Chains A and B, each alone.
Chain A
């Protein structure tokens, strides 16, 4: 079945550091890929998405590129802020189906 694997956290960074959170997936066909973010005390929010190979999703300075050859969708940001502290979930949705399959989440802690 479909699955998502992402790096375990917490990831602890200083403000303005470079961020990478790794995500790889297993799926049949051509899934759509997503990063969701959960800020403290808030619900899940869609951060970015990519629906086909080589697409790059971007939002709020975050980027992720859909790499079919490596089945990966790593999240990157060039300079993190304290306000980026949250839990980040990688997820996929198979074409024609709507349910999301999530990774286990990675907690990011950014200190001033």
Chain B
């Protein structure tokens, strides 16, 4: 596609359930990022992939959060046993390369997660 896509656009779940959020980066982009945008915390980095490996997972808030990337393309962010404080907009971004020089990150529209 022309840009970064994310699905679903909205997700409402009950506390304690697991959720999976999907990101399709721009074709050919080797770097992929997940961020979270919430009222209390602003925009926070979660995890960075270069290819299929994640050299920086420092932003994942707890071990309930995990992410993987397969085929150097699609990424899935999984939140287990969701809590109300997980409610936020989860943003995915991709860029052509990773560290050593800055490459513009292109953001998807986000997935709005609401935990009841």
Residue from the list A43, A51, A98 in contact with B109, Cβ < 8 A = A43
Contacts of A98 in B (CB 8 A): 31, 33, 48, 56, 95, 98-99, 102-103, 105
Contacts of B45 in A (CB 8 A): 99-101
Complex: A71 Cα to B34 Cα, angstroms: 27
B59, chain A: closest CB distance, angstroms: 7
- Determine whether B116 belongs to the interface, using a CB cutoff of 8 Å to chain A: no
Q: Give 17 new A-B contacts, CB below 8 A, not counting A44-B107, A99-B48, A100-B45.
A: A43-B91, A43-B109, A44-B91, A46-B104, A46-B105, A49-B104, A93-B102, A96-B100, A98-B31, A98-B99, A99-B33, A100-B33, A100-B43, A101-B45, A102-B44, A104-B42, A105-B42
Contacts of B44 in A (CB 8 A): 102
We find that the number of chain B residues with CB closer than 8 angstroms to chain A is 26
Give the nearest-CB partner of B50 in chain A.
Answer: A98
Complex: A33 Cα to B28 Cα, angstroms: 25
Residue from the list B43, B48, B109 in contact with A102, Cβ < 8 A = B43
- Determine whether A42 belongs to the interface, using a CB cutoff of 8 Å to chain B: yes
- On A, residues with C-beta under 8 Å from B are 32, 42-46, 49, 51, 89, 91, 93, 96-105
A96 touches B99 (CB 8 A): yes
Residue from the list A44, A99, A104 in contact with B56, Cβ < 8 A = A99
**Contacts A44-B107, A45-B107, A98-B95 hold; do A32 and B102 have CB atoms under 8 A apart?**
yes
Please report which residues of chain B, range 33-59, place their CB below 8 angstroms from some CB of chain A when the two chains form the complex.
Answer: 33, 35, 42-45, 48, 56, 59
A49 touches B102 (CB 8 A): yes
Complex: A67 Cα to B103 Cα, angstroms: 22
Complex: A27 Cα to B100 Cα, angstroms: 17
Complex: A100 Cα to B3 Cα, angstroms: 19
- Determine whether B25 belongs to the interface, using a CB cutoff of 8 Å to chain A: no
- Write 24 A-B pairs (CB below 8 A) sorted by A numbering: A42-B109, A43-B4, A43-B91, A43-B108, A44-B91, A44-B93, A46-B104, A46-B105, A49-B102, A51-B102, A89-B43, A91-B43, A98-B31, A98-B95, A98-B98, A98-B99, A99-B33, A99-B48, A100-B43, A102-B35, A102-B42, A102-B43, A102-B44, A105-B43
